[in-house]
């Protein structure tokens, strides 16, 4: 019943590694969602009220606590949380109450990982799979912006979702879809993400983050150091993934999914043992208008200097000669030709 929900939702009083008990206590004093006046109502109670308002009777006792813990990250660094922050949480709860995807049932289902280097289109592929199947995808991470986009499985790490996003070669799972992208592009994409989330941009510049100004690349020691570190990360992730020879593995590339989405969707769904209608999949992707993660226009400058490109090229050559995985070696050779 509705009366029992607050006790189930009292996540703000649970011990969490990312937020201290003192901060949790301070967060109880905040601005009400429904009025611009101070309120000491516990956020868990307010969120329970929202869930009661927006969800069906049958869903009331089943508030998705894991996703709510994820959504709490929006406010975790604010003391007290402001009105905008709580309104964003309200938007997330509203989306969870009217989901666009469903969770899988059954404890015996295998957990499939969707592994990639950051900046390789993992969230985009999750969107593709959700569109194809209607089944929610999850993540070992918590990105409130992804939740607000409608991907309510964000933060869920279990077999109740179709795949679980990870950038870690040690994340446990029963099988893995491994997305590979040319590191020369993936590293730039990851750098853009870091520019946003480490607040290296001034506020007025954030609207331009899709195509950062040249000064964030040229003669920038942080960018130069990033290339050195990330190309090692990219190669080590491949080595770590290929070392798990006892687990089923499907390798897909960002470039192939972009150029022939339906073909790659068929491959992934076959690997995931998901039943589907080829005609329906073709119909869903005939226009391929996945605008949520539409890539920006090409830069008007090369972010890499010749020595930086040589550094990436050298690491790829070293990797290709050390591997004994035919498919991956062919992919790396293809990327070398593009350098």
What is the per-residue pLDDT across 41-76, written as a single tens digit (0 to 9) for each? Answer: 555 556 666 666 665 554 444 555 656 566 555 555
- From start to end of the chain, where are the E strands? 30-31, 38-39, 112-116, 138-139, 164-166, 175-180, 249-253
Structure tokens belonging to residue 244:
């798990």
Please tell me whether residues 151 and 52 are part of one structural domain.
no
- Rounded average pLDDT over 77-83: 51
Please report the pLDDT score of residue 185 as a whole number. 95
Please tell me whether residues 51 and 139 are part of one structural domain.
no
Please report the pLDDT score of residue 64 as a whole number. 56
Structure tokens belonging to residue 152:
């309510």
Residue after which a domain boundary falls, among 97, 131, 160: 97
Of 49, 48, 98, 41, give the one whose Cα is nearest residue 68: 48
Question: Is residue 103, in this structure, part of any structural domain at all?
Answer: no
Local structure of 337: helix, strand or coil = helix
The two beta strands, 30-31 and 38-39, are antiparallel
Q: What is the pTM of this model?
A: 0.77
- Rounded average pLDDT over 287-309: 70
The structural domain count of the chain equals 2
| CA separation, residue 79 to residues 28, 83, 91, 199, 312 (Å) | 9, 12, 20, 19, 43
Please tell me whether residues 47 and 160 are part of one structural domain.
no
The larger pLDDT score, comparing residue 99 to residue 280, is at 280
Residue after which a domain boundary falls, among 49, 73, 97: 97
Of 97, 54, 46, 98, give the one whose Cα is nearest residue 72: 46
Question: Is residue 104, in this structure, part of any structural domain at all?
Answer: no
Please tell me whether residues 271 and 137 are part of one structural domain.
yes
Q: Tell me, rounded to whole angstroms, the distance of Cα 243 from its chain centroid.
A: 24
Please report the pLDDT score of residue 240 as a whole number. 95
Domain residues for the domain of 251 are 112-338
Structure tokens belonging to residue 339:
């350098």
Please report the pLDDT score of residue 238 as a whole number. 97
Q: How many Cα atoms sit within 13 Å of 128 on the Cβ side?
A: 26
């Amino acid at each position: 019943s509705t009366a029992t929900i607050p006790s189930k939702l009292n996540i703000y009083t649970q011990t969490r590694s990312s937020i201290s008990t003192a901060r949790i206590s301070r967060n109880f004093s905040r601005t009400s969602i429904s009025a611009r006046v101070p309120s000491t109502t516990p956020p868990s109670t307010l969120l329970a009220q929202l869930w009661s308002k927006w969800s069906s009777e049958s869903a009331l006792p089943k508030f998705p606590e894991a996703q709510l813990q994820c959504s709490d990250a929006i406010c975790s660094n604010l003391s007290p949380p402001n009105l905008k922050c709580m309104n964003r949480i309200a938007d997330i709860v509203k989306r969870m109450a009217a989901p666009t995807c469903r969770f899988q049932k059954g404890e015996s289902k295998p957990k499939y990982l969707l592994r990639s280097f950051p900046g390789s289109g993992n969230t985009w592929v999750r969107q593709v799979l959700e569109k194809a199947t209607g089944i929610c995808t999850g993540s070992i991470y918590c990105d409130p912006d992804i939740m607000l986009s409608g991907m309510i499985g964000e933060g869920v790490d279990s077999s109740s979702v179709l795949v679980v996003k990870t950038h870690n070669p040690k994340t446990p799972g029963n099988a893995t879809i491994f997305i590979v992208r040319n590191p020369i592009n993936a590293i730039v994409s990851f750098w853009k993400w870091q520019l946003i989330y480490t607040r290296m941009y001034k506020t007025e510049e954030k609207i331009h983050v899709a195509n950062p100004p040249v000064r964030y690349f040229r003669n920038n020691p942080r960018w130069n150091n990033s290339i050195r570190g990330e190309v090692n990360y990219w190669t080590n992730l491949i080595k770590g993934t290929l070392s798990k020879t006892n687990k089923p593995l499907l390798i897909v590339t960002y470039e192939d999914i972009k150029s022939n989405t339906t073909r790659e969707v068929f491959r992934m769904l076959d690997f995931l043992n998901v039943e589907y209608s080829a005609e329906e999949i073709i119909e869903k992707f005939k226009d391929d208008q996945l605008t949520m993660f539409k890539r920006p226009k090409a830069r008007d400058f090369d972010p890499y200097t010749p020595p930086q490109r040589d550094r990436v090229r050298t690491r790829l050559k070293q990797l290709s000669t050390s591997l004994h995985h035919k498919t991956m070696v062919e992919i790396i050779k293809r990327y070398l030709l593009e350098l």
